[in-house]
């Protein structure tokens, strides 16, 4: 078995780990092992996996992409290009960096 040393761990993080372990009735070391094992067990999804899953589900139903209804873009939560342009113009008028402008110097 390997040993891992974690330096400069924030005191609050250690306190929360201790509490979390106590709530489960295990040692702090056992809780950290469980957290690390879970973190590396999860494999990130491959690029395009969502598309392939959706295509397979649609094929099972006999549907095509064109049959899938698009979400309603007229809701208050939808963001239109006009709204973005207006927000950018308002920010520039106030002398602020426009939202989403990564080119501005800090």
* Tens-place pLDDT, residues 62-80: 776 666 666 666 666 666 6
- Full-prediction pTM beyond 0.85? no
Q: Is 64 exposed, middle or buried (0-12, 13-18, 19+ CB in 10 A)?
A: exposed
Give CA–CA dist 64/70, Å, rounded: 13
Q: What confidence category does residue 103 fall into, taking pLDDT thresholds of 50, 70 and 90? A: low
Nearest-angstrom CA–CA distance, 13 and 19: 10
Give residue 75's pLDDT: 62
Using one digit for the tens of pLDDT, what is the confidence trace for 7-53? Answer: 999 999 999 999 999 999 999 999 999 999 988 887 777 777 887 88
27 contact partners, CB below 8 Å, separation of at least 6: 21
């Amino acid at each position: 078995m390997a040993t891992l040393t974690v330096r400069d761990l924030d005191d609050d993080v250690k306190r929360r780990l201790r509490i979390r372990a106590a709530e489960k009735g295990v040692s702090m070391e056992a809780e950290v092992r469980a957290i690390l094992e879970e973190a590396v067990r999860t494999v990130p999804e491959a690029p395009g996996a969502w598309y392939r899953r959706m295509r397979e589900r649609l094929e099972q139903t006999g549907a095509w992409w064109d049959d899938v209804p698009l979400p309603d873009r007229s809701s208050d939560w939808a963001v239109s290009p006009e709204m973005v342009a207006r927000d950018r113009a308002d920010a520039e008028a106030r002398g602020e960096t426009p939202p989403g402008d990564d080119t501005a110097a800090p």
